Amino acid sequence: MFVTLMRPWVRSARRRAFLRQPGTVPGIPPGAVATLIFAIIVAAVAIVGTAAVSPPPQCAAAASGTAAADEQAVRQVVAELYRAMTLKDVDLMLSLFVPPDPAEGGDTAAVKAQILAELGPVVAITGDFARAKLVFGDGVAVMYLPETLTVKDPRSGTQKDMRMNAELKLMLTQSGWKIASRRTVPPDSLERQGPGPEGQEPELAEPAAETGGASAKTSVTHVAIETVRDCQGAGGSGRDPARPSAGWPVDATITVEAQSPGHAVSPYIYGSAWGQWVGNLPPDDEIADLHVRLIRFGGNNISRYNWRIDTYNDWWTKKNVVQRPGLLEFVTWARRLGAEPLIQVNAFGFAPEEAASPRMSRIMDAAAAADLVRFLNVEHGLGVRFFEIDNEPFIWHETHRDYQKQAIGYDEYLERFVAFSRAMKEVDPSIVVMGPSNCNPTYYLRSAVAGDRLAKGEWIPYMLRYCAGYEARHGLRVLDAVSFHRYPIYRSFNAKEVRAKPQDILDATRGWWDASYDSRLLDPTSEPAARAILPLFRRWIDENYPGTALALTEYNLDFDSSIEYPPNVRALWLAEVLGQLARHDVQYGVYWNLQEGGHHGLVDMAGRPAAPYYAFELYSRNLTGRMLPVKGGLARVHAFAAVHEDGTVAILVNNLDLEQGFDVEVVLSGVSSSKRVRLALEPGSVTAVTVRAEETHATVEVYDP
């Protein structure tokens, strides 16, 4: 709470919190001890490099006044930090921060003795200022350390930046430390290693290569949590679990109702697209860590794809390209990663007749679509479940204008859609068919054919009613999931320069859920009649064809991957969208895309993670199970919570404010005894808290892009 770092990169083995009752040091006032230990923590953090998030004070300490509460809370953290310091490091810290004259409140020997009484031995400590290897009896902690840290005093609330100046570096060097510059590495590039042979230090995994500027600031720590039950009964304060503890002001309280699970979080919202034009599959190791559960084989090229010869006619160059890796290899690869393939079906109709011939013919019809299902699920027994009837049909006259001269309207698309779906389900009734895959809000409301909307109403409600009527007449559900795309842009259509400020772009994520927010001044693709997109689609489904799933089968920040948005904005934008997809019960989500040479990929062409990679991974690993109700937050601080099958509760907190950090309290209520965790949210960060009801510690992960 009171120590906030420019986030170090941490991969810790195991850390422990040792909770002790505060003692006293003869001759030193309690407030002075608190100040002293606070100063020692600052120095310890500078050496040890762990971003400690302090638990709230225990009830007895809180009842005895602010100074005692501060001292107790400080002690709970210093016990763990101090384990990573040798005795000579303690002497150094005391000499730097303790007044030498006892009359001024300093008594080095007494303070040292008091602290050491609470601590266990350190097995070994080696390393330098940029990479410290801390060896304990039960494992290894590896930490990357900052050159600068921001100190926040819990009493005054003031902050100041401290840099490792030459004098302090000299003292550290004389104390046995080697000073080096900080390096930036991905958070998972350092692995915990077990203890080595007797008498030898454990081996330390080497860091991965530099990321070329991609954000990779993830820290992990274990934090003691307060059990409100301890504050009840005789001698307790009986305070409201939703209210901050005395002496610990917070900017907001976030309450999670742990015993009120709602809808299940669909694993398929954690999906992405394979950029099949890149000619290779992304590296298994990096993609497996993302926990991707749905991978789409689609896009403009697949609207011109002949699956029989694994060849498409490139929509941009108009040249035939043999698809390598091919469709079967793609399906096998997706399954190897634990993901389901989503196959786009060519309903545009045109495709190459032969791989060696540039000639295009209208050969992809409903019968060909049925043969595709037969090829995958009958001949090869792959059991592919998910299919989408083509891609963005209402702009075919633009993307495929060489063969589609006129725009198509509602009924022309629906005629094809129903014919294709019916033929495919005759082969395999278990498949899930999606459509219409329209791009951006304009085409949620209308087609490009004049008069469609005036005569038949808004497009998506019309399609839902049409398919509901077909099922009523024929007993067959041809539409299982209504699909759409969303690419907000923050520039003029024909310009490359982003005109919106980064903070405005993040604020505009309200357009996914807030009907009062109008983003037309920022985003020329927005529509006043299509605000709050996710609730709007949910209402359309409930009113016109209940039971239909919702699928966002392409989305990213801008449809042009060459546009440069700040990497941290891309990461935070993705985190917020994933949280909203889970909250609004979206069943399928496909981030565009896994890998490419522009700015859209989760990994680049060399397989290196981009900034959004870490936000995606944090959500896909934590926000699973069943959604839990969340109350509280701030205008730019949004929380999402879910309970896993094993009872673990995960809370994801997005701070979309790029300049302001916040102190928040997360209260887990509705369990046998409510618990609370205090968090210091960095500006522009994503924090994950996981805790089990019966445990006394929470795991806190912070991504600060």
Per residue in 46-101, pLDDT tens?
333 332 233 222 222 222 233 333 334 333 333 334 343 434 445 544 554 444 44
Peptide bond into 325 cis (omega under 30): yes
pLDDT of residue 200: 32
What is the tens place of the pLDDT at every residue in 457-481?
999 999 999 999 999 999 999 999 9
Amino acid at the residue 505: I
pLDDT confidence of residue 106: 52
Give me the pLDDT at residue 496, please: 86
For residue 581, give the H/E element and its range. helix 567-583
* Peptide linkage before 436 cis (omega within 30 of 0): yes
Rg of the chain taking only CA atoms, in angstroms: 29
Mean pLDDT, residues 441-446: 95
Both tokens of 595, joined, read 């890998």
In this prediction, residue 478 carries a pLDDT of 98
**Tokens in use for 207?**
């860091």
User: What pLDDT was estimated at residue 465?
Assistant: 98
Task: Calculate the CA 220 to chain-centre distance.
Answer: 15
Q: Are 144 and 9 in contact (CB under 8 A)?
A: yes
Strand stretches in 535-681, DSSP E: 549-555, 588-591, 626-628, 630-631, 637-643, 649-655, 662-669, 675-681
- For residues 667 and 267, the model is more confident at 267
Whether residue 300 is predicted with pLDDT greater than 90 in this model: the reply is yes
Going from the C-alpha of 450 to that of each of 90, 394, 458, 702, the distances in angstroms are: 78, 12, 13, 50
Residues contacting 229, CB < 8 A, separation 6+: 672, 673, 674
- Token couple for 71: 């001292």
- Cβ contact 257:670 at 8 Å: yes
Q: Which residues contact 358 (CB under 8 A, 6 or more apart)?
A: 313, 318, 319, 320, 352
Question: What is the Cβ-side half-sphere exposure of residue 84, based on CA atoms within 13 angstroms?
Answer: 30
Partnered with residue 641 across adjacent β-strands are 628, 651
**pLDDT of res. 345:** 98
The arrangement of strands across the sheet holding 139-144 comes to 10-11, 139-144, 131-136, 124-127
Q: What is the DSSP string of 598-626?
A: SSS-SB-TTSPBPHHHHHHHHHHHHS-SE
29 token code pair = 């006032």
Answer yes or no: is pLDDT of 392 > 70.
yes
pLDDT tens digits, 335-354: 999 999 999 999 999 999 88
DSSP string, 317-341: T--EEE-SS-HHHHHHHHHHTT-EE
Q: Single out the residue of 221, 276, 163 nearest to residue 10, CA to CA.
A: 221
**Could you tell me which residues come within 8 angstroms of residue 217 by beta carbon, excluding any fewer than 6 positions away?**
7, 8, 9, 184, 187, 702, 703, 704, 705
pLDDT band at 675 (very low <50, low <70, confident <90, very high): confident
Span 107-112, average pLDDT: 59
Check residue 508 and report its DSSP letter. Answer: G
Write the pLDDT tens digit of every residue in 624-672: 999 999 999 999 999 999 999 988 999 999 999 999 989 898 988 876 5
Residue 536 burial (CB count, 10 A): 18
The more confidently predicted of residues 529 and 328 is 328
- Token couple for 163: 């840099």
